[in-house]
Amino acid sequence: GPPPPMVRYGGFGGRRLREEVLEGDAVTIDELQSIMYHRRMVMPWTSTNRACIAGTLHRAARINDMFGRPIGLTIRVGRHRLGLAERVDDLLKGMRSMLLLGAPGMGKTTALREIARVFSDLYMRRVVIVDTSNEIAGGDLTPHPAVGSRTRRLMVPKREDQHLVMLEAVLNHNPEVLIIDEVGTEEEALAAASIAQRGVCLIATAQGQSLEQLVNNPALKLLFGGIETVRLDGETVNADPLSCKIVRMRSGPAVFDTLVELDPKVAQPGLWRVYRDLTGSVDRVLAGEPALSE
């Protein structure tokens, strides 16, 4: 028969998940339906099988069978952690653009909420969030208070249109700070580069384990100014090809000033590794040297 419901605790900031099987019978299809179409569930369900719970930061995702009928449900609990952005407060105060890097479940979206609130309520900046899955600010028409009382939010009808909404936010709404949860395609990286050139402070996330891994992601190379392969063949045109040296070089400045790595390998879970000079750090990685971080 179907498995009983399960609760998973923890996991934030790289902590190990703790699982607990709930007592009682397995959830029936009728019970799933009653949850999915409860009045607190913000409708409709999206094409990615997601929906938000009204008045909260929580998100539901359904599992369908081959005919599209729901047979399972995952509910993720959205958190708001006051004070989480204090560790990068000097960067926020200086309006330095920032890319948060980490694996799923490391707390990137939670960090974005608090960063938005600090910019909006503490530093009184014009903040706009491009919220593709409504995961940052919730599914209600009014953004959740966790992102700040003055923060505005643009919803994205389709995931593949996120790069267009990013540009729309800058062209139409004059933000000082633009926040995006997950830049993952070449089009989004190109849009981010265009936005950075307009003087907007850009705060975004990307999935990955390390700076070295991200530099090798071909879809996101524009975030680092573009990576080119260059042949160094000395001073003569007819140099021996066997004597040539092939190196990778950055062709322009990085889009973000700083990279923050939410790294589970640090001494204590939840600590952040900060690369203050992202452009210089990328150059060191391409040269095969360790990047400087703190």
Residue 237 is predicted with a pLDDT of 44
User: Is residue 241 over pLDDT 80?
Assistant: no
Q: What share of the chain is helix, strand, coil (3-state, %, to 5)?
A: 30, 25, 45
Most confident of the following: 8-17, 52-61, 188-197: 188-197
Residue range 21-45: mean pLDDT, rounded: 78
Position with higher pLDDT, 205 vs 209: 205
Residue-wise pLDDT tens digits, 56-104: 898 888 898 898 888 888 888 888 889 989 989 999 999 999 999 988 8
Residue range 191-219: mean pLDDT, rounded: 91
Residue range 156-179: mean pLDDT, rounded: 95
Most confident of the following: 30-39, 61-70, 244-253: 61-70
Position with higher pLDDT, 44 vs 175: 175
What are the φ and ψ backbone dihedral angles of 56, each rounded to 5 degrees? Answer: -135, 180
Average pLDDT, the chain: 85
Secondary structure (3-state) at 291 = coil
Residue 225 is predicted with a pLDDT of 82
Position with higher pLDDT, 76 vs 237: 76
Token digits of residue 265: 């390998």
Confidence class of residue 20 from pLDDT cuts 50, 70 and 90? confident
Residue 240 is predicted with a pLDDT of 54
Q: Return all residues near 286 (Cβ < 8 A) that are at least 6 apart.
A: 215, 227, 247, 248, 249, 250
Predicted TM-score (pTM) of this structure = 0.85
Strand locations in 168-222 (E): 177-180, 201-207
Half-sphere exposure of 168 (CA within 13 A, CB side): 12
Token digits of residue 220: 């996101």
Please state, in angstroms and as integers, the Cα–Cα distance from residue 181 to each residue in 110, 154, 203, 247, 254, following that order.
Answer: 10, 12, 8, 32, 19
Residue 131 is predicted with a pLDDT of 93
Residue range 140-144: mean pLDDT, rounded: 90
Position with higher pLDDT, 120 vs 84: 120
**Contact criterion met (CB below 8 Å) for 201 and 177:** yes
Residue 105 is predicted with a pLDDT of 79
Residue 90 is predicted with a pLDDT of 94
Most confident of the following: 11-15, 63-67, 197-201: 197-201
Confidence class of residue 244 from pLDDT cuts 50, 70 and 90? low
